[in-house]
Structure formats: structure tokens, C-alpha cells
A and B are shown apart, each in its own frame.
Chain A
Amino acid sequence: MPRVSHSSNATPLSLCQLPAGAVGRVCELIGDIQFCQRVREMGFGESTFVTKVSGTGTILCQVNGTRIALSHGAAKNILVEQLARR
């Protein structure tokens, strides 16, 4: 995982808006309750660090060493705070 500082900017972004290559920390899951639960169960819950690999439509990201693909609709429901690289 890239080294990151834990300081973050205040406004949460959706995972779709997070630029490719950037690291964020999940701050909130919104939308369908079952979806939120599955996302948490897959280790993508609040406070998890996520690296966005690529994608504007379907999103590719890295969470705890696992590559996860999310549809645009799913990624919109994951709000992250972008972390500044050291």
C-alpha cells in the first residue's frame, strides 16, 4: 500500500470522483442497505484505505491487496476522503 498521511481534505468524494492513482479512506456508505452490508463484508467498510486504480465508468480499485471492480452505480455509493500522498 502506498504511504499516506492521515490528514485529509474535508469534503467527501464518491469513489467515482476520486482521481485514478489516488488513495482515499472510506468515510461513508450510502444507498441500499444490503449493498452497504456486502461492501462491508468484503472488507470495504468505513475507515478502509482504498487505492483507485482506474476507471470512470466501471471502477477498478485496490483494497487490502485485493483488486475489486465496481460498477459506476456501486462506486457512487462509496464516499471517501482523499488522502494526500507524502
Chain B
Amino acid sequence: MALPTHISAPSANSTSRVPVYALVGNPNCGKSTLFNALTGLKQKVGNYPGVTVEKKVGTTYSQHGQPITVIDLPGAYSLAARSPDEAVTRDVLLGRRSDTAQPDRILCIVDATNLERNLYLVHQILDLGRPVILVLNMMDLAAQAGLRLRLNRLEHELGIPVIACEAANGKGIIELRLAMSRTDLPLSRHAWNVPAPIASAVTELQASLIAHDRKAPLIARAEALLLLTDQDSVRVAGSTPLDPRTAEILRGWEKRWEGEGTDWAGTLVNSRYEAIGRLAAEVVLPSATTGPTTSDRIDAVVTHPVWGWLVLGLVMLLLFLSIFTLAEYPMNWIDGRVAALANWVKAGMAPGDLRDLITDGAIAGVGGVLIFLPQILILFFFIGLLESTGYMARAAFIMDRLMSRVGLNGKSFIPLLSSYACAIPGIMATRTIEDPKDRLVTILVAPLMSCSARLPVYLLMIAALVPGDRVPLLTKVGIMLLMYALGTVGAFGFAWLFKRTLLKGAPPLMIMELPPYRLPLFRDVALHMVERAGLFLRRAGTVILGISIVLWFLAAYPKAPADATPTQQLAQSFAGRAGHLLEPVIRPLGFDWQIGIGLITSFAAREVFVSTMGVVFNAESSDNDTKPLRQAMLAARWPDGRMLFTPLTCITLMIFYVFAMQCMSTIAVVKRETNGWKWPVFQTVYMTGTAWVLSLIVYQAGRGLGF
């Protein structure tokens, strides 16, 4: 690849401060791939304070080894934001965020196969008056599509460096690094005439932004233009509010145009597109080839009304099989290591509360999180793979029809799917949903999808319900699938209900780009997987660790006499007393105080129910071999001699676990994602309330029918 003419060696008087580049582009233009190619493993993922948008910052090096900071801003189609992600991109670029300094320079990445659409954002960014480098990514795909791009012409017209690049193959990265190393990056020569009907408004707003909001003249002009196309101005926490005087001018103009019937926003967008159209006509020599591309041919099958469902079904089947079979080996290994560590501590320390706190509280608590790591990794590997190939958007497309029946759109599919493994990554994945109401509904119903922590509880109850030697495997699988189906139907039912009552909104207007199919980039998938797993461990691990220690305390105090068995100790502990207190509430569901203890300890993680039952009934067992526990449970009796774990109680308990919100980590994540306690409290109440009511109906109806 020839070196563009503008790239020259940087001058010696480089500044001592590390320069900051913001990386911006449309979704699906290869932005993350370029960020990974530039920064490798030197990345830090955090959050913009107050908003649930990820802040990705990395370090790259200039040609002389000087560090350069790169902020990877969320993908955006326009600076007129429609989602919190886009609002963060806009606010960082405009210098509106107090937590992030305005970047010195901007790297604009565009998809070379779709230059015209991508140039819209570039056009807005050039208005900001910052040095910009334009990266034309996917040049190989553009060549395959028969497009010829006159880069020199584009560089000449815009007056900024234009770098041809294939980020996926590492081509163009050196040239980009050289351009980034320049100290004398030129400002764009680009100019466009603001349409006459709104030019006066832009001038007046710009003057007010300079005078009252203390903006630099060029930024003020860009912001004035933006204010006219961004009526709703998605303001997120951390963005500085507009000065009241500027806001008043804006309102005045809006009122005036409304009276005159001027569509100011449409006029501005169309005027930009006209300017871009003229530029594109100079730069893009149209393709001579016609006919369907490879992507079109794959789409003919994958988005087909019948075959599309079949393909989606197969992909889901493969995903679930991997999560539940492949993960088993590393999960057993982790389980073994955690137990070995606890034993090692036990062997090395004198018996006492401190030893118990470390082994039963801290190690058991951290182990309780670590054990889910293989499933989370597999889930994110698949999600990364599906995103990297471009299939994910097709899955959302296929599911949109089903989702729209309950008032959601296809974008809610991924979060709900992820929630089958764990609600935490599922809830984190709702960030891509633009509509705040749709996002909230998805968060509220996501924990109803049966997560993998419920699996040990289902397995134990099924084992108690239908002894292995007498009942075919198919019946057990059938009961299991029934529980999964119940959760899924519950999630869709509540989504339907919330969208019609509490979070009533217009029918979702989804518009989503389907990127061309690509071969997956395993490096990007692996990075994504490791990054997600790290977030999961940090967020859930800290909460579970804390709660586990609290629960250990509740089960260990007050102390029983020294000769008491663990069962007696638990019975008279705070947890045991809480179980007794809870009994009047859960007795109508067929649960006694001993099950009550399990319901309480399940708040650490649902699968803790199994180990709690082990302690309650004094039976040594593991998740894989529940036979001793099963026998102990079947021997358990009410004080009047009736069996405690009747088949009806087992079914009722499973139904309770399908619906009840019993996960502190999920509550903590929902609190974080919704910025307050209102929604996690509501979610806990509605889910646990539903669980109670449904369990009551099932148990009492079952009793009435003679079960």
C-alpha cells in the first residue's frame, strides 16, 4: 500500500502530554477491530460515571514509541443521539462530559463499501473543528463489490488525511500509526452552506453558546447545528445542561418554525446528504457488476420465513448443548479446586470461626461464582462469534416478529437468550436497546428466563420427584423443559403486560442494519469474551462474596453447644430462626421452615439451595450425586407425620424457583443499570409475588385434586 503523500515525519517539538484520540464510527464499520489492532491488550474497560455505557480506553504507540491514548466511543449513526450510547459519543466529542476531557483529535472510521451513509457522521464530526483522520476500512470488501474509490480526491476535497485500511487483516495500521504520529494534523477544509431558512437560527444559537455556555466558536457552531436536529436531546448523567438563555433561543426558533411549518430537522439532514452526495459522486466510481453478493445468497436462506427459523433453532440448540455439556468439565474441575483449597485451609488452620469464615464464607462464596465462569465464557464466545460473523442481526430480524407480539423488538432477543445462562450478562446486554421503555421491560423480565443457577435446584427436585431407576430419562428431560418453557412464557407474558400498562409506549419502530457476512475474527471474539468474563467476575464476585459472608454469619450464629450437629446448629442459628419466622407465609405453599432456610440462603445464588438442604437434612452430597440428599429429603416429615417432599411439593418448589427473584447479584446489577432502587425493588416484589401466588394455586389445587 503506497504511503499517502501527507504522511511525513513528526516534528521534534512534540508536546509532553499524551495525545488523546477518540475513535468514532457507525455501528458495524469495524471500529472495535481497529481499536483492538491499535491497542492490543493495552485496554481498560470502565464505565462513564452515572450512565451504564462502557468506557473503553487503550494505549497505542506512535512511530517513535510515544504513547497515544485512544478512547473507543460507542458506535453511532449520528451525533443526534437516539440511545444513551450515542449520547455519550456526542457528549465526549462536544466536550460536554466533566469526567472525560474533550479528545485532541478524532479518528473517524468508515465502511468503504457504504461510503455515502458513513460520511454523514463524518460530515457532522468535521464541523467540530478538531483535527480528524479518516480511515476507510474494509477496502478489500469494497474491491470485491467492484467499487473503485478515489482516495486522493477524497483527501483533497476534505483536506484531512485519508487512510485505506483492512483492520481485520492488519493492513493500513502502520500508515494509520504514522498519520497519528503527526504533530501538524491539518483542520478540515470542508465547508457546507447551512440551508438559508435556518442559517439565522444557527448564527444566533452559536453566539449564545459562545457567550453563555463558554464554547469555542467552531464547537459552538457544531452544537448549534446539533441542537436543531436533536430535539429530544437525550441528556444522560454527566452531560452539562444548556444555559437557560441558549435554551430559550432554541425554544423560540422551534416555535416559530412550527408556526411556519418548516421541517428544520429534515432540511438539515437532507442538506447534509446533498453535500455528501456531491462528494461521493466525485470519489466513488460505481460498481459495474450486478447480481446477488455472497451475503445476499446466504440471506436468502438465513432470513427465509421457514429456513430462517430452522437455522436459528440449530444455532440455539448448539449454543445450549455447548453451555450445558462442554462447560461441565471445567465446572467440575473448578468445583474440585475450590473444595481442595477449602480443605487445604482447613488442614493448615486451627478450627475456629476465622477458619470457617474463610472456608465456608469466602472460599465457598467465590467458588459459587467461579463455577459459572465456563458457562459465561462459552456464552460470550458464541455471542462474540455470532456478532463477528454478522449472524446476530439476522437472529434479531427473525425474532422481531415474535417479539413484536408482546410489544418488544428483535433487539431484546439477545439479552433474553443470554439470561438462560445468567441474568447478569443478559441485563448488561440490554444496553443496545435504544428505547428506554423497551430496555426497562427487557431488564424486568430477563431474570424469568431459567438461568443455569436454577439447574441444580431443578435437578434435585426432579430427582426427589421421580426416582431415577423407575422413570425414563425422557420424563425427567420433559419436566426440565417444562420449567424452562414456563419461565419463557412468563417472561413474554409479563413483557406483554408491562408494555400495555406500566411502561406503555408506541409500537416499537425498529430499524436495524444487517452487516455483510464475514469470517469471524477469533482474536476479537477472544478479547470480547475475556473482557465480559472479567466484568462478570468483578461485578457478581464482589456482591456474592459479601452476601456469602453475611449468610455464613446468619447460619453460624448464635452458636449452638459444642456437641451440636451441623443440623442442630443451623436450626437454632439466625437463618434457622428466620426460616421459622417465614413458615407461616410459605406453609400454604407446602413449604416448612427447613425449606424456608433454603429460600433465604438462595439469595446468594439459587444453587446454594442444594448445599443448604444438605446441611439442613445432614446429608453429604454434591450437585452431581444427589442420592443421599434425595433419600434424606424423602424421609423428612411434617410434625404430624405427613411427608414433606411430596411430588406436589417438589413441583410447587420448582415453580417457585422459576418465578421468584432470589439473586442478590441480579438485584445489584439491575440497580446499577436503572440508576436506582425503584426498579430492582419492583422486580423483586412482582417476581416473588407471582412465584408465591402461582405456587399457592398449584399446591392448593393439587391438594384439592387429591395429590
A residues adjacent to B (C-beta < 8 A): 1-2, 29, 31-46, 53-54, 57-58, 60, 64-74, 77
Asked whether B270 is an interface residue with its Cβ less than 8 Å from the other chain, the reply is yes
Contact between chains at B507 and A67 (CB < 8 Å): no
Contact between chains at B145 and A37 (CB < 8 Å): no
Docked pose: A72 CA to B506 CA in angstroms: 13
Report chain A residues within 8 Å CB of B510.
58, 69-71, 73-74
From known contacts A38-B78, A64-B117, infer whether A58 and B266 are also in contact, taking CB-CB under 8 Å. Answer: no
| Residue of A with least CB distance to B76 | A41
Report chain A residues within 8 Å CB of B242.
none
Docked pose: A20 CA to B513 CA in angstroms: 18
Contact between chains at A71 and B78 (CB < 8 Å): no
Docked pose: A70 CA to B512 CA in angstroms: 6
**Most chain-A CB neighbours within 10 Å: which of B232, B265, B410?**
B265
From known contacts A40-B269, A43-B116, infer whether A68 and B514 are also in contact, taking CB-CB under 8 Å. Answer: yes
Report chain B residues within 8 Å CB of A69.
393, 396-397, 400, 410, 510-514
Of A2, A37, A66, A67, which contacts B265 at CB under 8 A? A37
From known contacts A58-B404, A64-B116, infer whether A41 and B514 are also in contact, taking CB-CB under 8 Å. Answer: no
Docked pose: A2 CA to B396 CA in angstroms: 27
> Can you list 8 A-B pairs, Cβ within 8 angstroms, ordered by A?
A1-B290, A32-B509, A60-B299, A64-B116, A66-B514, A69-B397, A71-B510, A74-B511
What number of residue pairs across chains A and B have CB atoms under 8 A from each other?
Answer: 118
B391 CB to nearest chain A CB (Å): 13
Docked pose: A36 CA to B231 CA in angstroms: 12
Report chain B residues within 8 Å CB of A53.
299, 303
Asked whether B61 is an interface residue with its Cβ less than 8 Å from the other chain, the reply is no
B123 CB to nearest chain A CB (Å): 11
Contact between chains at A66 and B401 (CB < 8 Å): no
| Residue of A with least CB distance to B79 | A41
Asked whether B229 is an interface residue with its Cβ less than 8 Å from the other chain, the reply is yes
Of A32, A46, A77, which contacts B270 at CB under 8 A? A46
Docked pose: A35 CA to B434 CA in angstroms: 12
Docked pose: A69 CA to B410 CA in angstroms: 10
Report chain A residues within 8 Å CB of B506.
32, 73
Asked whether B665 is an interface residue with its Cβ less than 8 Å from the other chain, the reply is no
Docked pose: A39 CA to B270 CA in angstroms: 11
Contact between chains at B114 and A68 (CB < 8 Å): no
| Residue of B with least CB distance to A3 | B290
Report chain A residues within 8 Å CB of B396.
69
Report chain A residues within 8 Å CB of B303.
53-54, 60
Report chain B residues within 8 Å CB of A64.
114, 116-117
Contact between chains at B77 and A71 (CB < 8 Å): no
Of B393, B404, B507, B509, which contacts A57 at CB under 8 A? B404
Contact between chains at A73 and B507 (CB < 8 Å): yes
Docked pose: A73 CA to B393 CA in angstroms: 18
Docked pose: A1 CA to B516 CA in angstroms: 16
| Residue of A with least CB distance to B114 | A66
Contact between chains at B513 and A68 (CB < 8 Å): yes
Contact between chains at A42 and B273 (CB < 8 Å): no
B234 CB to nearest chain A CB (Å): 10
**Most chain-A CB neighbours within 10 Å: which of B304, B404, B511?**
B511
Report chain A residues within 8 Å CB of B393.
69
Contact between chains at B508 and A71 (CB < 8 Å): yes
Docked pose: A53 CA to B514 CA in angstroms: 13
Q: How many residues from B make CB contacts under 8 Å with A? A: 42
Report chain B residues within 8 Å CB of A77.
509
Report chain B residues within 8 Å CB of A36.
265-266
Report chain A residues within 8 Å CB of B117.
42-43, 64, 66
Docked pose: A49 CA to B446 CA in angstroms: 39
Report chain B residues within 8 Å CB of A35.
509, 511
Contact between chains at A37 and B266 (CB < 8 Å): yes
Asked whether B332 is an interface residue with its Cβ less than 8 Å from the other chain, the reply is no
Report chain B residues within 8 Å CB of A65.
113-114, 145
Docked pose: A74 CA to B82 CA in angstroms: 15
Besides A38-B82, A40-B269, 13 new A-B residue pairs in contact (Cβ under 8 A), listed by A number: A2-B290, A34-B82, A41-B80, A57-B400, A60-B303, A60-B514, A64-B116, A64-B117, A68-B512, A69-B410, A69-B513, A71-B400, A73-B508
Of B269, B397, B516, which contacts A37 at CB under 8 A? B269
Contact between chains at A45 and B514 (CB < 8 Å): no
Report chain B residues within 8 Å CB of A68.
511-514
Contact between chains at A37 and B410 (CB < 8 Å): no
| Residue of B with least CB distance to A2 | B290
| Residue of A with least CB distance to B305 | A54
CB-based closest 6 A-B pairs: A67-B514, A71-B510, A43-B117, A74-B509, A73-B507, A57-B401
**Most chain-A CB neighbours within 10 Å: which of B78, B82, B299, B512?**
B512
Docked pose: A31 CA to B266 CA in angstroms: 13
Docked pose: A29 CA to B139 CA in angstroms: 33
Asked whether B475 is an interface residue with its Cβ less than 8 Å from the other chain, the reply is no
Report chain A residues within 8 Å CB of B299.
53, 60, 67
Docked pose: A45 CA to B506 CA in angstroms: 22
| Residue of B with least CB distance to A1 | B290
Taken residue by residue from 270 to 311, chain B's Cβ proximity to chain A (1 for < 8 Å, 0 otherwise) reads as 100100000000000000001000010001000111000000
B residues 368-421 near A (Cβ < 8 Å) are 393, 396-397, 400-401, 404, 409-410
Contact between chains at B511 and A38 (CB < 8 Å): yes
Docked pose: A85 CA to B146 CA in angstroms: 23
From known contacts A41-B120, A43-B116, infer whether A66 and B270 are also in contact, taking CB-CB under 8 Å. Answer: no
Report chain A residues within 8 Å CB of B513.
42, 66-69
B29 CB to nearest chain A CB (Å): 11
Docked pose: A37 CA to B263 CA in angstroms: 10
Taken residue by residue from 54 to 90, chain B's Cβ proximity to chain A (1 for < 8 Å, 0 otherwise) reads as 0000000000000000000000011010100000000
Contact between chains at A42 and B511 (CB < 8 Å): yes
